[in-house]
Amino acid sequence: MKKIVSVILLVGGLLLLYFGYDEYNSLQSEVNQFFGGSGSQEAIWMMVIGAAASVGGLMGLLREKIV
C-alpha cells in the first residue's frame, strides 16, 4: 500500500513539475516577466509542490528498498 502511494506521489509530482514548467515558459508568462519582472505565481507554486511531491514519492520508494 505504501508503495502505491509513493508511486502516485512521484508521478503526480512529475506531472506538476512538467505543467508548472510549461506554464512558466508560456507566452503570457514571458510577457509578464518582461514587464513585471516575475513569472506566474501559479507556475511557481506548481513547480514547488511538484518538486516536494516527487522527492517524497522517491524517498518513499527508496526507503522501502533499504529497510
pLDDT per residue as tens digits for the range 15-52: 999 999 998 888 777 777 777 777 678 888 999 999 99
pTM of the model: 0.79
Q: Which of the pair, 14 or 25, is modelled with greater confidence?
A: 14
* Residue 35: exposure state from Cβ atoms within 10 A (0-12, 13-18, ≥19): exposed
- Find cell 509542490 and name the residue: 49
pLDDT of 56: 95
Give the cell for residue 51.
518538486
